[in-house]
Amino acid sequence: MDATPALRQGDLPDEPAAPRTGSPPAGGPATASTGSAASITLEQIRKDYAGGTVAVEDLSLHVPAGELVVLIGPSGCGKSTVLRMINRLVEPTSGRILLDDEDVTTADPVQLRRRMGYVIQNVGLFPHQTIATNVGTVPRLLGWPTARIRERTEELLELVGLDPARYGPRYPNELSGGQRQRVGVARALAADPVVLLMDEPFSAVDPIARARLQDEFLRLQADVRKTIVLVTHDLDEAVRLGDRIAILSQGGRLEQYADPRTVLGEPSSPFVREFVGGDRAIRRLVVTPVTRDLLAPLATVEDAAGLPTIALGASLYDALAVLLTTNADVARVTDGGRAVGALSRHRLLSIDYPADVVDQRE
Ligand SMILES: Nc1ncnc2c1ncn2[C@@H]1O[C@H](COP(=O)(O)OP(=O)(O)OP(=O)(O)O)[C@@H](O)[C@H]1O
Ligand SMILES: [Mg+2]
């Protein structure tokens, strides 16, 4: 685990005091972030730390624009180092990093960080600044006019579900852990970055609040469509949030890079199989939707009116939960409110699994 203090020097784009003392960068407001999403390409990056640790040996990875990629792997395998190399809080020893086609390996790191949102573990809000001031940090550094910063701050707080009038003037210690994490996300999005880097952003809250935050975050991502690299220890979180999952082992070795269903259904090595665990068949239900080919005609079911209802496209996991909690053998499946068929427990539990999952059942 990261031994993360509330705030680490250098974790944010600049010192919090800089906007008050520094002058706006040349070029004026809004030139340093284009607002669109950019792809990220890592080419054979390596990081040797002083003392001989090879944190990342030779990693190549392409994150398409607008996708959310999750980095997951055992403690110390180099996840945070990879994230911090992308915004150059850590300088790669060798290799190249591209944003779209632009090689940013030697770009000015301060300028680069202003184009990237960064959510650090335990949020790292500035404790002596109000929530509104925290959210406006990067726009201030970019020299935006005060009125525009205020407008943007209010918009962002609303976006993450916090009433700006109520929460804006408060200080971080007057918020719950989950609310602080939302402020962290709002702050990272403030200058409309092309890339969002998130290091265990939802780790500090209990599982129920975490699930809610994840839902909100998925909704937010559907709106803003950023390129996001998110680090987590939590496989369920990875499966839930990731368009793709990169599983790393020691030394930042890329063991598998694929969408969640493939990682769970076709682990590419013994390491990944072990990592995703014996219950991956159940986890796979989370990312497998209810589709028409699983349905029987409703006419074959007695008393269809009394059945619980599941929406077409819901996950098999949610469908199973409905069947179990209502103690029903069959559910009615609807599409836009119209019944389209019946899904039975038996059918749900007999979907095909790849051979290696079947082997594990013995
Ligand atoms: N500043 C540093 N100086 C020397 N070694 C470091 C430094 N930062 C990290 N390391 C080492 O590099 C390796 C990778 O660290 P990193 O923080 O990237 O791991 P991680 O995958 O994020 O782990 P965790 O899941 O525990 O947060 C570890 O062995 C760590 O001890
Ligand atoms: Mg880490």
Look at residue 36 and tell me whether its pLDDT is greater than 90. no
Ligand 1 atom closest to 200 (CA): 27
330: CB partners within 8 A, 6+ apart:
301, 307, 323, 342, 343, 344, 345
Q: Report CA torsion sign: 357, 359, 360, 362.
A: positive
pLDDT in tens, 287-312: 889 999 999 998 776 666 788 999 99
Look at residue 116 and tell me whether its pLDDT is greater than 50. yes
Beta bridge partners of 63: 40
**Residue pair 204/31 in contact by the 8 Å Cβ criterion:** no
pLDDT of 246 reads 98
Output the CA angle 279-284-290, nearest 5 degrees.
140
Look at residue 10 and tell me whether its pLDDT is greater than 80. no
Among the listed ranges 92-101, 194-203, 204-213, 246-255, which one has the minimum average pLDDT value? 204-213
Q: How confident is the model at residue 25 (pLDDT cuts 50, 70, 90)?
A: very low
Distance 304 CA to ligand 2 centre (A): 51
Q: Using CB atoms within 10 A of its CB, is residue 337 exposed (0-12), middle (13-18) or buried (19+)?
A: exposed
pLDDT in tens, 43-66: 999 999 998 899 999 999 999 999
Could you tell me if the CB of 51 is within 6 A of ligand 1?
Answer: yes
- Does 306 or 196 have the greater pLDDT score? 196
Look at residue 123 and tell me whether its pLDDT is greater than 50. yes
Look at residue 39 and tell me whether its pLDDT is greater than 90. yes
pLDDT in tens, 232-247: 988 989 999 999 999 9
Could you tell me if the CB of 81 is within 6 A of ligand 1?
Answer: yes
Maximum mean pLDDT: which of 112-116, 122-126, 178-182, 333-337:
333-337
Ligand 1 pocket test: which of 42, 81, 230, 254 has the largest number of ligand atoms within 8 Å of its C-beta?
81
Output the CA angle 166-169-174, nearest 5 degrees.
80
Structure tokens at 341: 């068929």
Distance 75 CA to ligand 2 centre (A): 7
Q: Report CA torsion sign: 7, 45, 214, 276.
A: negative
pTM over 0.75: yes
Supply φ then ψ for residue 348, to 5 degrees. -60, -40
Look at residue 355 and tell me whether its pLDDT is greater than 70. no
pLDDT of 9 reads 37
Could you tell me if the CB of 327 is within 6 A of ligand 1?
Answer: no
Structure tokens at 163: 């009433």
Could you tell me if the CB of 79 is within 6 A of ligand 1?
Answer: yes
Outline where the chain has alpha helix (H).
18-21, 79-86, 109-114, 131-135, 137-141, 146-159, 164-167, 177-189, 207-224, 235-241, 260-265, 270-276, 280-286, 316-325, 345-349, 355-359
Residues 268 and 354: their CA atoms lie apart, in Å, by: 12
Residues 332 and 96: their CA atoms lie apart, in Å, by: 53
Q: How confident is the model at residue 222 (pLDDT cuts 50, 70, 90)?
A: confident
One-letter amino acid at 70 equals V
Q: How confident is the model at residue 282 (pLDDT cuts 50, 70, 90)?
A: confident
**Residue pair 92/99 in contact by the 8 Å Cβ criterion:** no
Ligand 1 atom closest to 81 (CA): 18
Q: How many CB atoms lie within 10 A of CB 286?
A: 16
Closest residue by CA, ligand 1 atom 6: 49
Look at residue 34 and tell me whether its pLDDT is greater than 80. no
Ligand 1 atom closest to 49 (CA): 4
Tell which residue, 2, 70, 116, 46, has the closest CA to residue 260.
70
Ligand that lies nearest to the alpha carbon of residue 89, given by its number in the listed order: 1
E-assigned strand segments in 200-329: 227-232, 244-249, 253-258, 309-311
Ligand that lies nearest to the alpha carbon of residue 53, given by its number in the listed order: 1
Distance 251 CA to ligand 1 centre (A): 10
Look at residue 125 and tell me whether its pLDDT is greater than 70. yes
pLDDT of 202 reads 82
Could you tell me if the CB of 52 is within 6 A of ligand 1?
Answer: no
Structure tokens at 359: 């082997």
Could you tell me if the CB of 78 is within 6 A of ligand 1?
Answer: yes
Mean pLDDT of 145-167: 92
Could you tell me if the CB of 120 is within 6 A of ligand 1?
Answer: no
Q: How confident is the model at residue 185 (pLDDT cuts 50, 70, 90)?
A: confident
Residues 110 and 13: their CA atoms lie apart, in Å, by: 6
